[in-house]
Amino acid sequence: MSAGRFAPSPSADLHIGNLRTAVLAWLFARSTGRRFLMRVDDLDDRTFTDVANRQLDDLTAIGLTWDEPAEWQTQHSARYDGAIDVLFDRGLLYECYCSRKDIAQAPRAPHAPQGAYPGTCRDLTDAERSERRGRLGRPPALRLRTETLSHTVHDLLHGDYTGIVDDFVVRRGDGVAAYNLAVVVDDAAQGIDQVVRGDDLLPSSPRQAYLAALLGYPEPTYAHVALVLNSDGARLAKRDGAITLAEIGVERAIAQIADSLGYQASTVEDMLPQFDPSKLPRQPWIYRP
């Protein structure tokens, strides 16, 4: 059965922009008859269980409901290892010993897209890999050996979007699955075929869709919604003040979110009959507490 989802990272309490995106993900799913699922993307923030629980409490407080217990990425390492084994057996992975500084300083081919991995470790010999392993004294990351420089996805709000697909990392040097692999594997395992999230993540969609195709997963329907910015046009931060649910209050937060979408509503359920993706704002919402 198809599903949509919201997948916060527990790095900090949710601010009004996160809550608005969660509401939109819920509206997209419920308006299309999909299940709505919750996943805590805690691979990078695995020690912040208290933050994650507060996030889930806040989402419940504003009236969001989900159809299965929330999943936590840190509980599914075997799921990611299985996908990595499939890619490895097909010869689609290689070891990478580059640091961020190495990548920034590496020469690039004239046709290489800006921001793409330059391929430094792509064609190392066994002897070269052994030398780097011994000299650096740290385990390598694993990168995907891609056969394209770009991939196009279709987004409900942005239309066709073409972005970079380089040899991106699928497992970090510390052995933890990289975000681009984990999110693809999790979505497929949970039956998620609708991905609604902030439009700052649109550039990652081509990489994820390309990987999904390699693994034989169907490409989800994408909808990248406009972000919420502060009065300076920057992403919301704690310095902007009064941006979390504890500071705003449930009723006011729902009213602000509804107003930003052009709705008259006192609950998220009230927004559902008014929801029309074609009429969603395409420009960021400038939030002023």
Report all structural domains of the chain as residue ranges with CATH numbers, in order of start: 3-75+226-286 (3.40.50.620), 91-171 (3.90.800.10)
Tokens standing for residue 150? 């770009």
> What contacts 169, CB < 8 A, 6 or more positions away?
96, 141, 142, 143, 144, 178, 180
Q: Tens digits of per-residue pLDDT, 176-214? A: 999 999 999 999 999 999 999 999 999 999 999 999 999
82-111: average pLDDT: 88
> What contacts 271, CB < 8 A, 6 or more positions away?
23, 27, 258, 261, 263, 265
Task: Judge whether residue 250 has pLDDT over 70.
Answer: yes
What's the pLDDT band for 101 if we cut at 50, 70, 90? confident
Share of the chain above pLDDT 70, in %: 98
In angstroms, the CA 222 to CA 62 distance is 24
Q: What is the pTM of this model?
A: 0.93
114-125: average pLDDT: 88
Please give the residue that has the higher pLDDT: either 8 or 45. Answer: 8
In angstroms, the CA 37 to CA 3 distance is 7
Tokens standing for residue 53? 């629980």
What's the pLDDT band for 49 if we cut at 50, 70, 90? confident
What pLDDT score does 137 carry?
80
